[in-house]
Structure 1
Amino acid sequence: LTKKSIKAPYDEESYINYVKLNNSRMKRWTKQGFIEPELAAAILAIDQPQKWILITEPWCGDAANSIPYIEKMAALNPNITIEVQLRDSESEIDNYLTNGGKSIPKLITRDTDGNDIFTWGPRPAEAQALVQKQKGSDASIDEKYGEILHWYKEDKGKSIQNEFLDLLS
């Protein structure tokens, strides 16, 4: 990608730091995370091609904690292909807002005719509830983000897997 093709704040130091941290988180979950057998069976049972459109940005902390699991799921079945779109570069996000906002990551699953099968995101429901609760808090952004990161560390991918199992059942 060239600078001209990206409409995002990637040159700002704070975003560069987020990208570095998120890269470490993604590597950790890619190495340590695993897909539960029941979910793996549901994914392997997909017998028709699906396109998983993943809208994200490299600075997004929720993405760093979710994308490794989404990639592991998709890798289990050759009927699943992933297309990654950057939210800030003319993606489809405007058609998939969360409470009116461009929250990411967002996964759109489509059949070969382009019909939506399901959407997921921007984070597991329990983490979303925590974010909603934090909106009324006087805690700093760093404290709020630390609480979310702690939730992801404790959850170890269980919630996203349970939600995908429900979506695929």
Structure 2
Amino acid sequence: MSVSTIKEKTVRELIDNALSQAISYGDYRAMVNQLALEGKATGPNQTEALANYTMLNDRRMKRFDKTVKVSDAQIETIKKLDRKITFLVLTESWCGDASPSLPVMNKITEHTEKIDFKVVLRDEHEALMNRFLTNGAMSIPKLIILDSETKEVLGDWGPRPQPAAQMVLDHKAQYGKIMPELKEELQQWYNKDKGQTILNELLASLPLK
């Protein structure tokens, strides 16, 4: 058995394990809401900062759940899916980039029965996360797009849409590190964009007829 075959088998096992523990988007939203009420966060580290980010993200996801709009043309694109697929996303309650992204993913699934949307926590699935790093980092949210029958990896997306990713690169180039004000700038961009860039990037990654 070749090294590549062994590696592929390992990825498949990691995916199967994650799927066996995954929860629905509805259950994830309920969990984040409860954590926000309790002043807690997902993950092994419980800090005031992470609890505050969880509370902010709960409010942001509620807003995006209500305000993300899918056009007729975008719905027609979604309906061109040529097979049943699974959206498996790695995230945590405190992740700022997840608050606009997961509602958009869910909005796509509302327009087709061919997508099964599942959520797992990154820190409970580090081995899988390490297979889908972004520039060597465990950046989230990370969406893995799978063939629902074969579990073949068809693509991945994340942790943020291209314009937001460019904002981060430009910021690092200017300051040499991430400054606190960048988080506010990113949220302002997400609010103004209303999920449309994420939506279009995700639609471009779907296996279509």
Question: Structure 1-normalised TM-score?
Answer: 0.89
Asked if 1 retains the 8 angstrom alpha-carbon contact of 2:84 and 2:115, the reply is yes
Residue 123 of structure 2 aligns to a residue whose secondary structure is coil
Structure 1 residue aligned with 2:168: 131
Question: 1:22 is matched with which residue?
Answer: 57
Tell me whether 82-91 or 16-25 shows the greater mean CA deviation. Answer: 82-91
1:77 aligns with 2:100: no
Q: Which amino acid is 2:142 matched to?
A: K
Give me the whole-angstrom Cα distance separating, in 2, the residues matched to 1:54 and 1:119. 9
- Given the alignment, which residue of 27, 36, 52 partners 2:71? 36
For residues 66 and 39 of structure 1, what CA distance do their matches in structure 2 show?
Answer: 16
Structure 1 residue 140: Cα displacement: 6.8
Output the CA distance in 1 between the equivalents of 2:150 and 2:162. 29
- 1:117 pairs, out of 154, 159, 172, with 154
CA shift for structure 1 position 36: 2.4
Q: Check conservation: 1:56, 1:87, Cα contact below 8 A.
A: yes
Report the counterpart of residue 103 of structure 2 in structure 1.
68
Q: TM-score, normalised by structure 2?
A: 0.73
Q: Do the aligned partners of 2:172 and 2:178 also contact (CA within 8 Å) in 1?
A: no
1:164 aligns with 2:187: no
Give 2:135's aligned residue: 99
| Residue in 2 that maps onto 1:144 | 182
- Unmatched tracts of structure 2, length 5 or more: 1-30, 32-41
> Which residue type is aligned with residue 125 of structure 2?
E
Residue in 1 that maps onto 2:14? none
Give the SS at the match of 1:76: coil
How far does the alpha carbon of each residue in 1:32-53 deviate from its partner, in whole angstroms, 9 at most, with x for none?
1111222211212224211110
Q: Please tell me whether the aligned partners of residues 39 and 164 of structure 1 are also in contact (alpha carbons under 8 angstroms).
A: no
Overall identity of the aligned pairs, in % = 35
What is the RMSD computed on CA atoms of the aligned residues? 1.8
Is this contact kept in 2: 1:54–1:108, CA < 8 A? yes
Q: Is contact 2:43–2:92 with CA below 8 Å preserved after alignment?
A: no
Which deviates more from structure 2 when the two are superposed, residues 113-122 or residues 134-143? Answer: 134-143
Alpha-carbon deviations, 1:30-82, whole Å to 9, x = none? 01111122221121222421111011111000000111000110122111111
**Aligned AA (1:120):** W
Kindly report structure 1 stretches of 4+ aligned residues shifted beyond 6 Å.
none
Tell me the CA shift for residue 85 of structure 1. 1.1
